[in-house]
């Protein structure tokens, strides 16, 4: 019988991730926080990373005021030295590193791709593509998958499959992230599974420019509403646990069926 590490049960229940140690980048708010909260509710010990230390620590304190099962850390995902230290501290504190969630992302360019400048292009690619790869590399150095099966989750976007969005450069970075997900799944199996989640428009501060368009965006979707962080967290629970033990290299779209309606941004006017 193979060692299943912290992934012990095949049905949703409290304690499903008991003994699991998870690190979530972009964990102080939005989708990252939703995932961290779900993992914590399932018994995992979690580290919430964000560039703003106060926000990260406040989010972790809300999960566990004692600090015994939830920690917040102010780490910019582009800071490799800080990332290395954080991952080593997590393993040193709790004796393992089982799940890495690469959720942090930026989108400083909202508008036609033809108008993006080099600085914004570089920032998007550094945070949305290079950082997930580098954090995965560092997690492997800290023992992810070494003694028991590990899992990496990439938070992508359905914009990777939706040309025409006013967030085209962001969508390109996520399309590349999807390829990276599959590539790492091949390279890191069988000890580490690598999967992705591609949300549609989720009601977060990050997506505020699109949420502002309201029903113009979601009106034609089969499930006509914006997503919530909890919708994405449910998918993350599946992909991070033994329930998906035979799933790797996949990107699960969670978007209320938005892509089924074709060009979800055709009604928008963005100059």
CA 235 from centroid of its chain's CA atoms: 11
Q: Nearest CA to 82 among 47, 35, 129, 120?
A: 47
**Do 156 and 181 touch, CB atoms closer than 8 A?**
yes
Task: Report which DSSP code applies to 162.
Answer: -
Catalytic residue among 170, 206, 226, 265: 170
Q: Rounded to whole angstroms, how far apart are CA atoms 158 and 47? A: 26
Give Cβ neighbours of residue 121 (< 8 Å, ≥ 6 apart): 109, 169
Encoding tokens for residue 83? 């990332």
Looking up tokens 């590990």 gives 150
- Told to judge if 170 belongs to the known catalytic residues of this protein, a careful annotator would answer yes
Known catalytic residues are 170
């Amino acid at each position: 019988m193979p060692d299943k590490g912290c992934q012990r049960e095949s049905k949703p229940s409290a304690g499903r991730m008991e003994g699991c140690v998870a690190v979530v980048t972009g964990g102080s708010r939005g989708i990252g926080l939703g995932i961290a909260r779900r993992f914590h509710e399932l018994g995992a010990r979690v580290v919430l990373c964000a560039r703003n230390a106060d926000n990260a620590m406040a989010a972790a304190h809300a999960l566990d005021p004692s600090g015994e099962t939830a920690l917040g850390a102010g780490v910019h995902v582009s800071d490799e030295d800080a990332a290395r230290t954080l991952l080593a501290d997590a393993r040193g504190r709790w004796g393992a590193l089982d799940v890495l969630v690469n959720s942090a992302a930026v989108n400083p360019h909202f508008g036609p791709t033809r108008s993006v400048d080099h600085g914004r292009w570089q920032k998007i690619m550094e945070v949305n593509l290079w950082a997930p790869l580098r954090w995965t590399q560092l997690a492997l150095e800290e023992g992810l998958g070494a003694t028991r099966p590990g899992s990496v989750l990439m938070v992508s976007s359905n914009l990777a499959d939706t040309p025409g969005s006013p967030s085209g450069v962001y969508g390109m970075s996520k399309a590349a992230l999807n390829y990276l997900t599959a590539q790492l799944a091949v390279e890191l199996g069988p000890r580490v599974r690598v999967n992705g989640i591609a949300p549609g428009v989720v009601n977060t501060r990050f997506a505020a420019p699109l949420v502002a368009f309201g029903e113009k965006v979601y009106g034609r979707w089969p499930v006509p509403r914006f997503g919530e962080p909890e919708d994405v967290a449910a998918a993350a629970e599946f992909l991070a646990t033994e329930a998906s033990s035979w799933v790797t290299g996949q990107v699960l779209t969670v978007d209320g069926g938005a892509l089924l309606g074709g060009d979800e941004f055709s009604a928008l006017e963005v100059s």
